[in-house]
Amino acid sequence: MRMKIPAAIAMVVIAAAVIVTAGGARNAGDRTVGGAASVVPANAVAFAAIDTDGSSAQSQTVNALLAKFPNLVTQLQQRFEQQTKLSWANDILPALGSELDLAVLPGSPPELVALTQPADPSKLTALVANAGHGLVMRAVGGWTAIAGSTPALDALTNATATLAQDATYVSATSNLAADALVRAYANGAEAQQLLASLHGVTPSAPAKLQWAAADVVAESNGLKLEAFAQTTAPGRADYSAQLPDAIPAGALAVADFQASGGAAALPSSSKLPQALQDLLAKLGPALGGETALYVTGGLPPVVTLVTHPADPQAAYTAIDEEVAALASKGGVFSVIKPPLPYAVVDGALVVSTSTLGIQDFRSSGAKLSSDPAFAEAEQASGLAPGQTTGFVYVNLADALPLVQALGPMAGITVPSGLDALRALTAFGARSGGLATGTVFLEIK
């Protein structure tokens, strides 16, 4: 079964989240988005609120960030209008209010409901009527709700308890920034029921996830996504990352995590290419202790893996065999020529695509922990390597030009005009049953 997400609603959501421009007339910072929680049933699977008010402080901050990318907003708007045959200024903006809220309601299949307080109700009526897809609309508690079926609207009208009154929702969203572009929430038990129904199975155990919440906040130097999850199951504990003191400065990308010798426990917010994530998953049994995979510049770039396995020689053999199998399939990994150089340095197994990777790791030269670019990313994102469940760092300022130059050979195209992007940093932390994750895109 698939969730009913009418195309028109999805288009509006994408447009509202990506293109922030002039909207309603509320004063910046005078309230928190998510007002429709007062009409959404308490048993909602998930709920999200998007700031669509161009006069808000968050929208103005986004506009300042977008100004660093000339013509980006225009290109996105033109693409949207070409694909939807709708005018952003004449058809979409007047139909939106100061926020657009979304609720996933339980059911078989579950349904998505959009709620707003339109600046021009007639424009919203026309937009819904023109969209088709059997969309229905109804006024509920001062909000206009749009859904794919009448029963979905009835669920709002007949709700005896709402999210705003629900203790779990209130507790979860208390972790979120009051002034945010997006605030989102998921009910753990309901989400498990939904996933089980989509796979045609019945949950056999109580949900380990009690709730999850996240927000997206625009800051003067970038965009930050913070996620929180309350669980009843033990998770990965924080550790103090030591490898930044050994990884050479100037690294273009780094993923640092704890490996248990079973599965490579990458942080959930990992932004590594899928092929590398698949490789690390296969190599899980060969890895151990603090492990880092990093890329340094060069033609081609050098990829180095550092880990602390119980049996370094056996681990190296497994790693070399997996990489050889991957290289034999062609594609971007075809430039790797096994057997890979390796060494054991102070108890750590170091495997690289080049002897230069081994030499740089052994070198007494500058290390990542003293790299100005990494230090800037730490400060901007809030990363604390001394207390984390894992982190990923990408030096976009140096990596993007290299990808733009070499990407076409691997079928990768990166648009120009992204010079303002500085770094992408993702990391996790844990305190008891509360797990947190942060992704920060630094723009300067």
| Lookup: tokens for 53 | 């008010």
Residue 197 belongs to a domain: no
For the chain, give the percent of residues with pLDDT over 90. Answer: 52
Residue 204 belongs to a domain: no
pLDDT for the residue numbered 22: 37
Residue 149 belongs to a domain: yes
Q: For residues 429 and 433, what is the distance between their CA atoms, to the nearest angstrom?
A: 11
Same domain, 160 and 247: no
Sign of the Cα pseudo-torsion (161, 165, 168, 174, in order): positive
Residue 97 belongs to a domain: yes
* CA 262 to mean position of chain CA atoms: 25
Residue 208 belongs to a domain: no
Contact call for residues 425 and 380 (beta carbons, < 8 A): yes
Same domain, 265 and 369: yes
Same domain, 121 and 265: no
Contact call for residues 327 and 341 (beta carbons, < 8 A): no
Mean pLDDT of 272-286: 65
pLDDT tens profile 236-249 = 789 999 999 999 99
Residue 199 belongs to a domain: no
Residue 89: domain span? 7-176
Mean pLDDT of 272-288: 68
Contact call for residues 271 and 254 (beta carbons, < 8 A): no
Same domain, 162 and 266: no
Q: Is the pLDDT of residue 189 over 50?
A: yes
Average pLDDT, the chain: 83
Show which of 159, 176, 193 is a domain's final residue: 176
User: H/E element holding 257?
Assistant: strand 253-259
Amino acid at 286: A
Same domain, 269 and 130: no
pLDDT tens profile 136-151 = 999 999 999 999 999 9
pLDDT tens profile 88-136 = 888 888 888 899 999 999 987 889 999 999 989 999 998 888 877 789 9
254 or 402, higher pLDDT:
254
Show which of 154, 176, 198 is a domain's final residue: 176
Show which of 160, 176, 192 is a domain's final residue: 176
For the chain, how many structural domains are there in total? 2
pTM: 0.85
Mean pLDDT of 167-182: 94
Q: Is the pLDDT of residue 3 over 50?
A: no
Same domain, 261 and 344: yes
pLDDT for the residue numbered 280: 63
